[in-house]
Amino acid sequence: MKGVVVDNRLLNDKYGLMCIESPEFVKNANPGQFLMIKTQLHNYLYDPLLRRPLGICDVNLKRGTFSLLYMIVGKGTKLLSNIAKEAVISFSEPLGTPFNLTADKKIAVIGGGVGIAPMLFLTKTLYENNSVDVYYGGAEEKDILLTHVFEKYSNNMKISTNDGSVGKKGFVTDLVENIDSYDKVYACGPKPMLKAAFELVKDIDEIDFEVSLEERMACGVGACLGCIIYIIDEKTEKIKQVRCCAEGPVFDGKQIVWDTVCKEQL
Ligand SMILES: Cc1cc2nc3c(=O)[nH]c(=O)nc-3n(C[C@H](O)[C@H](O)[C@H](O)COP(=O)(O)OP(=O)(O)OC[C@H]3O[C@@H](n4cnc5c(N)ncnc54)[C@H](O)[C@@H]3O)c2cc1C
Ligand code: FES
């Protein structure tokens, strides 16, 4: 697919926000899905060779536009940050399994760092039919973005930073009080944060828990097996391998084998 970049701005020296016009993409996009985007504008340029996965941060059905919030960490995202308005950019259709949506529930949305990106589209959608509290954490002030939009589409929003520069000092999961009052928790962010969110809900059967995992991906469409994670099969109760890009990136967080997902942090 191709779309026109209608805006691309740096929010600070770490993050950019790109808005792309593509009515066809927007009409098929669901919260939790991602795309594989070509970070070079020309077909004859092959460095970086692989497209990069980014979550769908927001959509505007009326305008036929969608937004991507990206953290500049390497070559691909640096190239993205340099793309000018009106450029034509190439990307996949919406990929992956979206979040399961609910109605008339009390929801906690927990996002850490750039893991907040797919949570905006999710929060906006959930807020139409649910009560939604947003818990947003970052390492420092620069990681706390788009708060005015989250405030508009939530009943409550609480912020934390590791250095205490905005909100409460500490981890985002420490902000969550009365976990038992929630019907469902959705989370996206660094793996230790997701594991900490799992610890909050693991013993409470009444709380559903969905997470979006940002494993490193090569193909993004289930072909290369480069994004395997381990989950417990609901029926057999045995551990099985699944592809994060195809079966995920959204999973039932209570089925994930967290010690394998967090292996690089162990
Ligand atoms: C489903 C999915 C959704 C994602 N959504 C977003 C999003 O909305 N916004 C966003 O900024 N990023 C998102 N990411 C992560 C993003 O894909 C990577 O940051 C990006 O591919 C890095 O490309 P690069 O060329 O700039 O960096 P590279 O040069 O490829 O790598 C630079 C550094 O980033 C690390 N890195 C690369 N990919 C990942 C990853 N998946 N997780 C953790 N570290 C990584 C590398 O290990 C390396 O240290 C998502 C990833 C997945 C799988
Ligand atoms: S990235 Fe290739 S199978 Fe998931």
Lowest mean pLDDT among 46-60, 115-129, 196-210: 46-60
Look up tokens 């990206």; give the residue.
70
| Separation CA 104–CA 124 (nearest Å) | 14
The domain covering 2-90 belongs, at the CATH homologous superfamily level, to: Translation factors (2.40.30.10)
Ligand 2, CB cutoff 6 Å, lining residues: 217-220, 222-227, 243-245
What per-residue confidence (pLDDT) applies to 260?
76
Is the CB of 107 inside a 6 Å radius of any atom of ligand 1?
Answer: no
Q: How crowded is residue 34: how many other Cβ atoms within 10 Å of its Cβ?
A: 27
Q: Could you tell which of 51, 216, 221, 243 is best to mutate to test the pocket of ligand 1, judged by most ligand atoms within 8 Å of the CB?
A: 216
DSSP per position, 66-88: EEEEEE--SHHHHHHHTPPTT-E
Q: Atom of ligand 2 at shortest distance to CA of 228? A: 4
Spatial CA neighbour of 189 closest among 230, 147, 248, 138: 138
Q: Could you tell which of 49, 51, 216, 243 is best to mutate to test the pocket of ligand 2, judged by most ligand atoms within 8 Å of the CB?
A: 243
Look up tokens 């967290």; give the residue.
258
Domain spans of the chain? 2-90, 106-213
Q: What is the CATH number of domain 106-213?
A: 3.40.50.80
Average pLDDT on 36-48 reads 82
Per-residue model confidence as pLDDT tens digits over 67-102: 999 999 999 999 999 999 999 999 999 999 999 999
Q: Residue 265's pLDDT band (boundaries 50, 70, 90)?
A: very low
Q: Are the folds of 2-90 and 106-213 the same?
A: no
